[in-house]
Amino acid sequence: MKKILVIEDNEKNRYLIKYLFENSGFKVVEAITGAKGVEMAIREKPDVILIDIQLPDISGLEVTKRIRASEADGEIPIVAITSYAMVGDKEKALAAGCTGYIEKPINPRTIVAEIEKYLS
């Protein structure tokens, strides 16, 4: 069973993502702050990480950098899922170490397939 770490402070977004991925056979672990997300990435060794860019403590971009610099597997796909959709935001996320970038609102019909692309 593939494990996904969701680093998202919005309860409704976490619920939707958890529901969609658990119904697709994933084990879902969650963090609501960036600091907790870094800790869980190291401890849980997920197969993929979904991260919001705007978190209450530190930005998702900084969280991504910290995960990449930690003893967590540096090859874990990290996908930014964010409402930040201005020109250059995708490039900033990729430069910080994100593997992919998905704009909110997510499409419940396609999100699982989009994330599974990063696992093959």
Residue 70 CA, chain-centre distance (Å), reads: 16
- pTM of the complete model: 0.95
CA dist., res. 99 & res. 27, Å (int) = 20
Q: Give Cα separations from 93 to 8, 13, 81 (angstroms).
A: 16, 19, 10
Q: How many domains does the chain have?
A: 1
Tens digit of pLDDT per residue, the chain (120 long)?
A: 999 999 999 999 999 999 999 999 999 999 999 999 999 999 999 999 999 999 999 999 999 999 999 988 778 999 999 886 677 889 999 999 999 999 999 999 999 999 999 997
Of 49, 55, 51, which is closest to residue 75 (Cα–Cα)?
49
Q: What is the CATH number of the domain that holds 23?
A: 3.40.50.2300
Q: Residue 73: which domain range?
A: 3-119
